[in-house]
Structure 1
Amino acid sequence: MQMIKRMLVLMLCLLAMKAGAQHTAGEVFFNWKEIAPLPGADGLAGSYAGVSNGALIVAGGANFPGNTRPWAGGIKTWYDTIWVLENESSEWKAAGKLPRPMGYGVSLTTPNGLLCIGGGNAEGNYMDVFLLKYVNGKIETENLPALPEPLANACGVLLNGRVYVTGGQTSPTGGTTRHCRVLGPGGGQWQPLPDLPGPGRMLAMAGAMDGKVYIFGGVDLQQGQRKYLQDAWVYQPGGAWKQVANLPYPLAAAPTPAYEAGQSHLLLFGGDDGVNAVKAGDLKDAHPGFSNKVLAYNTLTDAWSVTGSMPSNMLPDAALNPHASTYAPVTTPLVVWNNNVVLPGGEARPAVRSKKVLVAAPRQPEGRFGGLDWTVIGAYFLLVIAISVTVSRKMGNSTSDFFLGGQKIPWWAAGLSIFGSKLSALTFIAIPAKAYATDWVYILNNLMIIVVAPIVTMFYLPYFRKLKLTSVYEYLQIRFNTRVKLLGSLTFVLFQLSRLGVVIYLPALVLSTVTGTNIFACILLTTVVTTAYSVLGGIEAVVWTEVMQVFVLLGGALVSFFFMAANTDGGLSGMMNEAWQQDKLRVANLGWSISEPVLWVVVVGAFLTNLVTYTSDQVVVQRYLTTSTEKEARRSIYTNALMVIPATFIFFGVGTALWFFYRRHPGSLNPHGRVDDVFPWFISQQLPAGLSGLVIAGLFAATMSTISSSMNSIATVVTTDFYKTFRKQATDLQSLRFAKIVTVFLGIIGCGIAMYLVYLQNASIWDQYLKIIGLFGGCLAGMFAAGIFFPRINGRGIFAGFILSSIGLYFVQQSSAISFFLYPLFAVVGCVVMGYIFSWVLPEKPGAQQVIQMNDE
């Protein structure tokens, strides 16, 4: 009771801190500032800029000296000085010279230094390609393979070690080109790529994300006149150019490459929209400057939005004192330095160069999560704790009650609990995120339980029930020997520890996303509360809590789905039509590849993944062992299988609805967000106050139940298979006390793994979870399959088969040539085949193993 009181005090303190805050997300996604201005009196545009050894480099460029405009006789002058800024608080210093005065080339920051491609000056354009490295206070220049033709005002991007360059001009007075080139990481020569469709272009913007190259807008020269372009294109290496959504308006000369925000956004800062291009000569010093809008392109929804603005302030004395005003610059590279966006110099207005160095620090906005939402969460957690306390009062003081609930759980509750243990944050967050980002190809991974359930009830369940097991791995000792049991138990513990980190990480990600709270604090809070809950509750409290959570979570998902459909132009029918046209409802990829999720790979992998889960995972098996009879256990398994069908369609539907909603409302999405953030972000931003709190509270409560289930199952295995094996004289009370100590220790380990996952920054956490199942669970399921279906396989053989198949699976995992869906296939088949072979090579004495005969219960 003392622990319960402490937990209640902790949550009440949390409510007291947060209840008064009502966060409203705005369009402030960057915090802007200025650092040391560029040297000289006139600023620079068209410079090369990037980073080497942690220092910011700005080289070359051009201006009009003395601030003399061309209409007043000013002459454009080019420079070759290389300037370096070692940190934000230092001063610029000259560190070297370019091969000649030049500018308006492509600038790319590489791991080896600043890559400068092409460029030109008043005399002509150049084919030069060179690398600038800042070493010991000086610039070192390394020449690289030259371009096939002179080029200036082109755009380029670095992708997977390869350099892509597109468009530009071959001479200062020539037309624009559509040529595209690539330079591999190993050097060699520039190789041609398919020409960019549409007109030739210069001053376009490039970007890279998710293995693809993007080209946006630019300017085409037609008979000496500029035509501003609005089209956008994507290229996947090895494929062809494809057109994507047009820019909201024609645009050119924005700082490039585009900024990669989050996992699905490319951002363009400002640029010349051409509105004042025709009358620029008439406006002269009255020119207002260029666009200060920040455009965001979502690569998943193929939609543009205005997602903020750059600092811009034109003062009355701008003509006489141009550097006092602040403008959104064009014709300058975008540099990422110390995780911030840096725009050094650039063209402020026609014939006016900027000295300012603007720095934008990405800012994660907080969700709209207010006092009512926190109140709902607090009330909901109190209800969950009340259920846990009520059930725990009836729980006996024995390991049987703690691990199996006295085998008095009704079949329907056990079935819902099996379903609820899998309906965690992994389901609630990762599956909608996967459907939002891709399609429905992964849906078979869940639906194959329909095929697996009859196999489990017909072949596996009778053994587990007849042997009156507490830990499912006790079967391996009865069938084979103690060594095999300990190996299986250890594998389960390792697998569950990996899973434990995932299911702690995801709800912490939710809370961090919707409230702005530090994710590490969220992980710590979740772990502390859940560990206390797990120690007190026992399996019976876990089961009844999960029963309640199933309905809350499914209800929350349905509410979110219909809310999105109702609040998006086109409604449900429009969503289905558009999703169908864009292949978002695709359920199968045809083909015979073993490296891609084609139909046969998903079917085989999904079947074996479910077989792994429902035959060798203590979390699931333990639940259908809590019922009083084999008949009720069978009903619980089918109850779970039938619940999976509608739930799977609901959560995949939520993912598609999210894609449709944010395709229509692209400005409502956080550009810095991860893909796995998308559903939590929607909940916090779009659902009405109170309802969002209810959905998040339900998610957290179910997630904590899932975590406590893992902790309880691991504690069951460690106590039953290890502690009781090596301490045969231990009393049941000592075993119970040991199980609770193990649970606390598991909380500490799970917390550490979850914090490590924060640094991985995976695009899809579901992919990582499926890989974990394939690596840890497949060989384990192979041992159970060998024991039940192959009576000739003995303990020595299956032990050797498990070790060798695990080693083989490790090397399979290292190769990207094989889809992770097939890991269980290699694991199960490898374990059985190798076990059979080594049973023949290493026979055991008669009576060394048992082949268990089953009779009807």
Structure 2
Amino acid sequence: MVGTGGPVPTFSPWDYVVFAGIIVVSAGIGLFQSFRGRKEASSAEFLLGGRQMTAVPVAMSLTASFMSGISVIGTPAEAYRFGTAFWLFGFSYFIMSAITAEIFVPLFYRLAITSAYEYLELRFNRLIRVIGTSMYIVQTGLYTGLVIYAPALALNQITGLNLWGVLVATGVVCIIYCTLGGLKAVIWTDVLQMVIMLTGFVAVIARGSVLQGGITKIFEDADQGGRLHTFDFDPDPLKRHTFWTIVVGGSIMWLSIYSINQSQVQRYISCKTLGHAKMALYVNMVGLWLTVSLAMLSGLAMYSIYKNCDPFSNGDVGTYDQLLPYMVMDILAVYPGIPGLFVAAAYSGTLSTVSSSINALVAVTVEDFINPVCKNLTAKQVNWMNMGLSVFFGALCIGMAGVASAMGSVLQAALSIFGMISGPLLGLYTLGILFRTSNSTGALTGLITGLVLTLWVGIGNQLYPPTADKTLPLPLTTVGCNNTMGQSSTTATPWTSPVTLTPEPE
């Protein structure tokens, strides 16, 4: 019986067919773009799509790049445990979009640069450019490892497929179409993958509404469970999510992602005009609103279904980040193919973000490290170098997934990485843009000081997690469970070596 705990079904043959079909189509779009653009093979075509992209596909790619498998897995679990405070990020998206579109995009677009870090050398010096690029590579490697790990965990949870087999397969698929198709292949596959992600959320919400007697009943249950207390104006900066920490802190975090992150900047400057680039930001804002709203509604539906039997407390899952995959099999297994669609949604988000990261890493490596040293390379040599670097960074991202497996909650870990590294970089760019008298000595001093402080806070948070009186998890119960399993396996036929998001220490 749905919502009462115990084993749930595994993947049906139709689920595998749907999942495999969607992944093949995603890869096929990327390969099509690669063959289509072969006659125009050049570094600008590979890294910037020939600077001929339009606003809507770029906007969908912007949204898909960072509202990825992390969002599919982590955001509904956030609503289930902590309520709807996360919805306040909608304000952050508006503030970020306006500042980025009106200040940062015109700067990068008019400079006609390929790497966002070229600006740092133009404004300060070569050393600061190299440091900024190096920080970006470290940040992106860690974040992409998380993005690969989250949906691989979902596949393992639902189907019993080998976790590391899925991780490697993810990297291989991305490497293939990134290597052959470049940025244009990445953007057009992002468009399909964004549609699939949204469809997966809609399927979960629709089925949950039918089971619970309508969307109104879901909101009633959420209200009774304290999940609709969205606005908390407590000024305490140590509390996990308040209006101030999300709107102020969230705006700065998302600004650091969208205004200076190479993955995003590369998309702006791939647009055919500045107007298209700015419009892409505003259309992306609507996409972010839609995605976070559907993710939060999925979490509220999950609470409504499991309000009397928390699967984590009942031992049905090993971590809260496994809740949504568990619910999908619990409520959607009666419709063969739909669970496959959900897993494809999580997986599509991964493909989108990983492919974007690989392409961006190739761009900064070529522009910031190789071109300044090797100035006499032929176009053919540069193309081979681009493809070789795509393979290298794809393999590196797979390796970083192993680091991600030890970082706890995927959503919180992802946000922490961006806060620690992107924050000081954003401060550096802001200093250069807004203050004419700033020089390279002051910029380097501020960057190092900011990085030390953010690493101190971020690493300290991992080593000494905040207590419940600061994180404020909402109450859950198992009074309605009809079966206590006492193990983390959730399938009718458990696989040999179940893997949870946070492995037990050896």
> Which TM class, normalised by the smaller chain length?
0.7 to 0.9
Amino acid at match of 1:697: A
Q: What is residue 679 of structure 1 aligned with on the other side?
A: 324
Distance (whole Å) between structure 1 residues aligned to residue 11 and residue 315 of structure 2: 15
1:545 is displaced (CA, Å) by 1.1
Distance 1:736 1:809, change over 3 A: same
Displacement after TM superposition at 1:778 (Å): 0.6
Look up the match of 2:455.
Answer: 810
Task: Give the 5 Å matches for 1:323-472.
Answer: 367-395=9-37, 396-472=40-116
Q: Which amino acid aligns with 1:642?
A: V
* Cα distance in structure 2, aligned partners of 1:773 and 1:705: 18
Paired residues of 1:723 and 1:735 also in contact (CA < 8 A): no
Higher relative contact order (CA 8 A, sep 6+): 2
Of the three residues 431, 438, 442, the one matched with 1:793 is 438
> Map of 1:135-534 to 2, 5 A cutoff?
307=6, 367-395=9-37, 396-534=40-178
Match of 2:268 among 624, 628, 649: 624
- Aligned pairs for 1:63-82 (under 5 A) are none
- 2-structure distance, mates of 1:732, 1:796: 37
Give percent identity, aligned residues only. 27
Does the C-alpha gap of structure 1 residues 408 and 367 become closer, same or farther in structure 2, counting only changes over 3 Å?
farther
Instruction: After superposition, give the CA deviation of every residue in 1:551-601 in whole Å (9 maximum; x if it has no partner).
Output: 222122112102111112x43222211211221122232322121133222
Give the partner amino acid of 1:400. Answer: A
Quick one: distance in 2 between partners of 1:385 and 1:522? 16
8 Å contact kept, 1:787–1:793: yes
- Unpaired segments of 5 or more residues in structure 2? 467-506
Cα distance 1:670–1:523, how it changes in 2: closer, same or farther (>3 A)?
Answer: farther
Q: Does the alignment pair 1:547 with 2:191? A: yes
Alpha-carbon contact 2:208-2:301 (below 8 Å) kept? yes
Match of 1:699 in 2: 346
State whether residues 387 and 545 of structure 1, in contact with CA within 8 Å, keep that contact through their aligned partners in structure 2.
Answer: yes
How far residue 700 of structure 1 moved from its aligned partner, in angstroms, is 1.7
Per the TM alignment, residue 768 of structure 1 is displaced from its structure 2 partner at its CA by 0.7
Q: 2: distance between equivalents of 1:306 and 1:630?
A: 53
Match of 1:590 in 2: 233
Secondary structure of 2:372's counterpart equals helix
Give the superposition deviation at 1:521: 2.1
> 1:379 Cα deviation (Å)?
1.9
Offset at residue 670 of structure 1 (A): 6.0
Distance (Å, rounded) in 2 between the aligned partners of 1:805 and 1:673: 36
Q: What pairs up with 1:60-99 in 2 under 5 angstroms?
A: none
Q: Distance in 1 between matches of 2:61 and 2:154?
A: 23
Which position in structure 1 is the counterpart of 2:504?
A: none
User: How far 1:818 sits from its partner (Å)?
Assistant: 11
Deviation at 1:758, TM superposition (A): 2.4
1:402 deviates by: 0.8
Instruction: Confirm whether residue 776 of structure 1 aligns to residue 382 of structure 2.
Output: no
Q: In structure 2, what is the equivalent of residue 751 of structure 1? A: 398
Rounded Cα–Cα distance in structure 1 between residues aligned with 2:5 and 2:111: 65
Provide closer, same or farther for how the CA distance between residues 808 and 535 of structure 1 changes in structure 2, counting only shifts above 3 A.
Answer: same
Partner of 1:730: 377
CA distance in 2, matches of 1:530, 1:421: 13
2:74–2:321 CA contact under 8 A, matched in 1: yes
2:223 maps to which residue? Answer: 580
CA-atom RMSD in angstroms: 2.3
Q: For 1:708, give the aligned amino acid.
A: S
Distance 1:518 1:483, change over 3 A: same
Q: Answer yes or no: is the 8 Å Cα contact 1:367–1:515 preserved in 2.
A: no
Give TM-score scaled by structure 1 length: 0.51
Q: Distance in 2 between matches of 1:559 and 1:770?
A: 27
Deviation at 1:540, TM superposition (A): 0.5
Instruction: Note if contact 2:232-2:243 (Cα within 8 Å) is conserved in structure 1.
Output: yes
Residue identity matched to 2:57: A
Which has the larger displacement, 740-749 or 402-411? 740-749
Query: Which of these two proteins has the greater Rg computed from alpha carbons?
Result: 1
Structure 1 unmatched runs, 5+: 1-25, 28-302, 308-364, 820-857
Q: Distance in 2 between matches of 1:470 and 1:446?
A: 30
Compare the two structures and name the one with the higher strand fraction: 1
Seen in structure 2, the aligned counterparts of structure 1 residues 404 and 306 have a Cα distance that, compared at 3 Å, is: closer
- For these two proteins, the number of residue pairs brought into alignment is 458
Conserved? CA contact 1:595–1:818, under 8 Å: no
Aligned to 2:475: none
Confirm or deny that 1:739 pairs with 2:386.
yes
